[in-house]
Amino acid sequence: MTIEHPSVFCERCKRPVLRQFVNLEQKTAFCDGCNLHFDITASNGLRQRREIDMPRGAKNVRLTLVQQDLTIDVRWLRNYPAKSIFTIAQPVKLELWPEGARNLDSAVAEFFGKLVFTVMHFVWTATTRTIAYFVNRTIVRATPASLQIEHRPMDVLPSAFFPANRIAQLTVRYHWAEENPLQENGMLFVVLKDGSEYDLLWDLDVEVLLYLEQEIERILGITDEKMEGEYV
């Protein structure tokens, strides 16, 4: 039994159902991925956007799917350009000796203390960013209950945890779209129901990010909707 495009998607795992497991006459389908029999209804999860296959550019992105647990592993060195060393956010927990300069007696000593602190801060930041670029990886884990982001082994970027019921959408946007509308790389954002946003992955091929967005939304049970400013 065949089915015309668009395909039928499983009610549970949101993945496409193989054509041979779809019965249009009885309006039923079977997902061999999670062993679910279900009825085909108007709200079956037909996507407005085209189905995206794994892009060739995702060869350096490791995906692991165990039942309803999706893990995305992105090595910084293999996926991000070297210029990203200078654009990584500064360490949020950096405290060398911020009170040191205030306790010095003379204005000259105070100026010298601030200068030394500034130099130490710059050296520390540049060193940690450089090391992180070579050793770090970003781990994104999606389950039906939550979405979690970690940066290992160096915590130069903050980790985050979002319950699924707080997430409204995921969206892909170009890097610096106004300055360079032909930019091929983009960023993947999670948009919360309160309107706040968090960048999950950055400076990756747009097709790779669209594929990851598609797979994460399936796990979270989110129906894809068009958002302002996103790549379509």
> So where are the chain's domains?
1-46
The answer to whether the pTM exceeds 0.75 is no
Q: What is the pLDDT along the chain (232 residues), one digit of tens a residue?
A: 333 434 677 776 667 788 788 887 888 888 887 788 888 765 454 445 566 667 776 667 888 888 788 999 999 988 887 777 766 655 444 344 444 444 445 555 566 667 777 778 778 778 888 898 899 999 999 999 999 999 989 888 888 999 999 999 999 987 654 444 445 678 899 999 998 999 889 888 888 898 899 899 989 988 887 777 776 5
Residue with tokens 């970003």: 138
What the block records as the tokens of 202 is 């950055």
Helix (H) or strand (E) holding 137: strand 137-143
Order of all β-strands in the sheet with 28-31: 22-23, 28-31, 36-39
H helix runs in 158-228, sequence order = 206-220
